[in-house]
Amino acid sequence: MIQSMTGFGKATMQLPNKKITVEVKSLNSKGLDLNVRIPSVYREMELGLRNQLSTVLERGKVDFSIFMENTAEQTSAKVNVPIVKAYIAQLKEVYADADVTELMKMAVRMPDAMKTEREEIDENDWNLIQKVIDEALENMQSFRVSEGSALEKEFLQRIANIMTLMNATVALDGERIETVKTRLRTAIDELKVNIDDNRFEQELIFYLEKYDITEEKVRLENHLHYFIETMAGKEANGRKLGFITQEIGREINTMGSKSNHAQMQKLVVQMKDELEKIKEQVLNVL
C-alpha cells in the first residue's frame, strides 16, 4: 500500500517538573529535507534523533519540534546577587537622589544580572521523551497511511479511466483504416491514371503499418497494470510510480501522433488529462 509524504503527528507527556510536546509534520519533497528544533539541553541527542527520523520517514520536507514547558516552582534562571549589588552601588554614584526601587529595576536589566544554571540531561527523562517521540512518529505514519489510501483509490479510478479510453480508441481503429483506404483510393481515382492494383495494395499496407497502434496499445496496457502492481508493493515507491507515468505518457503521445483521426485524437487528449492528474498526485507519494 502506498503512503503519502504529507502527514502530521503529535504527542505530549507530563513529567514531574515539565511538560513535553512533540510535533512532526511533512510535505512532499524529492528527498529528505529535515528541520529539527529541540531544547538546547538535549542538543547532544540531535544526531541520533536525526538518524531515527531519516529511517522512519524516508522522504519529505519534515519539520520536527520538541517543546518543553517548565511546570516546576523553581526556574533555572536566578538573580546574580553580587553583580546586581555592584550595579546598584555604581548607579547610586550617578543617581544619588534616585529611589532604590528604580535603581533595582535598572540594575536587573544590566548584562550578567541574571545567571542560568545549565541543566544536565536526565537519562530517565530522555527515555520518557523518546517514548513521546515514538508516539508522535506513529501518529505521523498513521496519517500518511490514511492519506495514501485516499491516493490509491484516486489512482485506481484514473487508471481505469485511461484503460476505458484506450479500448475506445482501439475500437475506432478499424473505422480509421477504412477511412484512410477510401481517401487514398479517391485521390488516385481523381488523378485518372492506371495503376497496378497489387502494387497499390503493397504500398497501402506499408503506409498503414506506420499508423498501426497495436504495439502502443499492448505497451500502454502493460504499463497500466505495472502501475497498479507497484502501488501494491510494500516498499516506498513514489519515484518508481513517477517513472512509470513517464512511460505511460510516451505511449499515449505516440498513439496520438499516429491516430490521424479526429475522434481518436479526442480520446487521446482525455487520456492525457487523466494522466496529468495522476502525475500531480504521484508527487505526494512516499
Are residue 99 and residue 197 in the same domain, yes or no? Answer: no
Mean per-residue pLDDT pooled into runs of 10, the chain (286 residues): 90 87 92 90 89 92 90 63 78 74 76 64 82 94 93 94 92 71 68 65 65 86 94 84 94 86 89 95 91
pLDDT for position 100: 74
What domain range includes position 254?
A: 148-282
Q: Rounded to the nearest 10 degrees, what angle do helices 262-282 and 123-171 cross at? A: 180
- How far apart (Å, rounded) are the C-alpha atoms in residues 249 and 256? 11
- How far apart (Å, rounded) are the C-alpha atoms in residues 155 and 161? 10
pLDDT for position 262: 82
- CATH number of the domain that residue 42 is part of: 3.30.230
pTM of the model: 0.72
Are residue 64 and residue 88 in the same domain, yes or no? Answer: no
pLDDT for position 152: 93
In the chain, how many domains are there? 3
Average per-residue pLDDT for the chain: 84
Long-range contacts of residues 238-243, Cβ cutoff 8 Å, at least 24 apart: 238/2, 238/5, 238/59, 238/282, 238/283, 238/284, 238/285, 238/286, 241/2, 241/282, 241/285, 242/279, 242/282, 242/283
Are residue 67 and residue 102 in the same domain, yes or no? Answer: no
pLDDT, one tens digit per residue, over 8-34 is: 999 999 887 788 999 999 998 888 999
Residue 1 domain-assigned (yes or no):
no
pLDDT for position 203: 64
pLDDT, one tens digit per residue, over 220-230 is: 999 999 999 99
